[in-house]
Amino acid sequence: MSEMTNKPFRRGLATFLAAQPIFWMSNVAYAQTMQAPGGFGASGAGGVTVPGPLAPADIEVMRGERGLASAAAPVAPVIDETIDPDKYICGPGDVLELNFWGVQNFKLRVTIDVEGRAFVSKVGYFALQGKTLTQARRVMRDSVARFYPRLSFDVTLAEPRTFLVQVVDDVARPGSYPSRAIERVAAAIGKAGGFGPSASKRRVEVRRRDGTVLTADLLLYTLTGDLKFNPYLLDGDVVRVPFEELAATIGGAVNRPGRYELVKTRDLAELVELGGGLLPSATQLLPITLIRRGQDDREDLKTFEFVAGKAPAIPLHPEDAVRIPSAAELQQSVVVVGAIAGAVPATAAVTPAVTADEAAATRRLPFVDGDTVRTLLERVGGVGPLADLTGAYILRAGRTIPVDLYALVMLRDFKADLPVELGDTLVIPFKRRNILVEGSVFAPGSYPYNPAFGVEQYLSLAGGRSRNAQSIDNVKLITPNGETKDYRPDLKIDPGSSLVVPERNFSRSEVVQIILAGAGIVLSGVAVVIAARK
């Protein structure tokens, strides 16, 4: 992951995203699916509510465009789906139709009263409050059959009841609105003028009289048409529309570019899923780009690689803007290869003959006018700890252009920054991985790096400390970036480091002892020679 401020890219991304169709609740198709069949769609004179289907004016209200102004003529209710008798809950105000056939054919209509009972002449009262339509049929059928034994009998819902539903919080006109028992949550929000500017369309709460709380996800209802995300309304319901918490925008090679609220994992993977998934034209050779606004109102560009062919589960922040690259953009890219952040030598090719596709430690980036070596490094997360800052170069049309990364990265000398052209490959080789052992050891030299080795093991490889070496406590470690560290038993040694064993400074008495010891050895040798001659 990397960060930078990139105005040209931001403008390009903003232009792209602005050109994409964004599917929101305000479109007519959504409003039509949300309409309450046979609902109270307009207001007549004096504020009297006139029953009828949602008129075009109601659709506009649901879009939040204007208030109700024209009355809809009363017409037969428009039902957008078959009522499920196992799910429809009966209550006061429902009109049931009793159909008889056989020796005689006739109909009776009964209304469930405020106590939840329905009265059938000659039969009596039936307690139907809270029962499903299927249960109501069963209760009534057995009793009615005893009084009308020669007739077949059935019960249907003739007119669903009307009741008040409260719609509160972030809607255009909070308040109580009449609803019918065949209406769903979206219809109630439409009657309240539609969603407010910061409303959550995915966390709408439906609080029932019995304390039950349901969640309506009207975005998924719009995208999938699945009615489970848009539940029925019941008497006494309170529909609460909370404020949106986290939304992000996605564009590029996805099926449904747009702005989406995130409520589950709240990460990049969820955003891609809401965007309908990747198009066949999406490419994984370019990174996913993300623009994020910081606390200081600074916009940073971040890049992420695909993981196992999927967008990674990177947590997103409010108003992040994500773009999925397409294969067509490969023609407008540059490549950074080698010792970049997160790369290891075993996965990177770093010879001048390298091609971008042959190198495993490769980051292909969209080319942006004004790109330089420094901006590329920022976008890939910088150089790795094993980068050879003196050996970097740019491959351009068969030519090799040296790049002084030591001056650019370590000395912050921006004069060493070079412009990058479309199609360039920036190669950052790895430094040697050996450990150099120098100073007062018997076999100074370069030895293979072993992550399990400490100072003592490397000194042993070099034959150990010589007679004139200082104590091991005085051994110095020079790291690849030039930092000097004192000896510790647990000192971590990175590849490319050097161990220096300083020589002792002998005192005068030690020098005399060494000379005398040497003289003694010589005299002993002479005595041996003389004795041999005798």
Provide the sign of the torsion angle of the four alpha carbons 234, 238, 244, 246, taken in this order: negative
Question: Contacts for 457-462 with beta carbons within 8 Å, 24 or more apart?
Answer: 458/493, 458/499, 459/499, 459/501, 461/437, 462/437
Confidence at residue 308, expressed as pLDDT on a 0 to 100 scale: 82
| One domain for residues 109 and 150 | yes
| One domain for residues 110 and 143 | yes
| One domain for residues 174 and 49 | yes
CA 510/CA 513 separation, integer angstroms: 5
| One domain for residues 49 and 169 | yes
**Among the listed residues 205, 217, 111, 215, the one whose alpha carbon sits nearest the alpha carbon of residue 165:** 205
Order the strands of the 95-102 sheet from edge to edge. 106-111, 95-102, 151-159
Pair type for strands 162-169 and 238-241: parallel
Order the strands of the 162-169 sheet from edge to edge. 175-180, 162-169, 238-241, 204-207, 213-216
Considering 140, 159, 178, which residue would you say is the last residue of a domain? Answer: 159
| One domain for residues 236 and 115 | no
Contact 273, 260 (CB under 8 A): no
Provide the sign of the torsion angle of the four alpha carbons 169, 171, 175, 181, taken in this order: negative
Averaged confidence pLDDT in the chain: 78
Q: What CATH number corresponds to the domain at position 107?
A: 3.30.1950.10
In a domain, residue 295? The reply is no
In a domain, residue 73? The reply is yes
User: With pLDDT > 90 as the criterion, what percentage of the chain qualifies?
Assistant: 44
Encode pLDDT of 6-52 as tens digits.
Answer: 444 444 444 444 444 333 333 323 333 333 333 333 333 333 333 33
| One domain for residues 168 and 72 | yes
Q: What's 457-526 look like in SS3?
A: HHHHHCCCECCCECCHHHCEEECCCCCEEECCCCCCCCCCCEEEECECCCCHHHHHHHHHHHHHHHHHHH
Q: Per-residue confidence at 508, pLDDT binned at 50, 70, 90? A: low
| One domain for residues 177 and 237 | yes
DSSP 168-188: EESBSS-EEEEEETT-BHHHH
2-6, 71-75, 188-192, 431-435 — which one is most confidently predicted on average?
A: 188-192
Stretch 114-138: mean pLDDT, rounded? 92
In a domain, residue 62? The reply is yes
Strand partners, 465: 441
In a domain, residue 262? The reply is no
- The structure tokens listed for 7 are 């105005």
Q: Per-residue confidence at 349, pLDDT binned at 50, 70, 90? A: very low
Considering 127, 159, 191, which residue would you say is the last residue of a domain? Answer: 159
CA 58/CA 41 separation, integer angstroms: 6
CA 44/CA 371 separation, integer angstroms: 64
Count of CB atoms situated within 10 Å of the CB of 126: 21
| One domain for residues 146 and 209 | no
In a domain, residue 15? The reply is no
> Containing domain of residue 54, as a range?
35-77+162-241
In a domain, residue 308? The reply is no
CA 161/CA 201 separation, integer angstroms: 27
Q: Reduced to 3 states, what is the DSSP secondary structure of residue 251?
A: strand
Rounded to the nearest angstrom, the gap between the alpha carbon of residue 160 and the centroid of all alpha carbons in its chain is 43
Encode pLDDT of 189-224 as tens digits.
Answer: 999 999 999 999 999 999 999 999 999 999 999 999
Contact 450, 433 (CB under 8 A): no
CA 385/CA 497 separation, integer angstroms: 11
What total number of domains does the chain contain? 3
- Cβ neighbours of residue 386 under 8 Å, at least 6 residues apart? 339, 344, 345, 430, 431, 433, 480, 494, 495, 496
| One domain for residues 117 and 220 | no
In a domain, residue 59? The reply is yes
Token pair 């190669």 in the structure block, residue: 427
| One domain for residues 153 and 188 | no
Which of 83-87, 166-170, 411-415, 429-433 is least confident? 429-433
CA 47/CA 56 separation, integer angstroms: 19
Considering 139, 159, 179, which residue would you say is the last residue of a domain? Answer: 159
Confidence at residue 39, expressed as pLDDT on a 0 to 100 scale: 34
| One domain for residues 488 and 477 | yes
CA distances from 96 to 153, 248, 449 (A): 13, 48, 87
Contact 219, 261 (CB under 8 A): yes
Stretch 278-287: mean pLDDT, rounded? 88
In a domain, residue 149? The reply is yes
Q: What CATH number corresponds to the domain at position 196?
A: 3.10.560.10
Stretch 264-269: mean pLDDT, rounded? 93
Confidence at residue 279, expressed as pLDDT on a 0 to 100 scale: 92
Confidence at residue 361, expressed as pLDDT on a 0 to 100 scale: 67
| One domain for residues 185 and 66 | yes
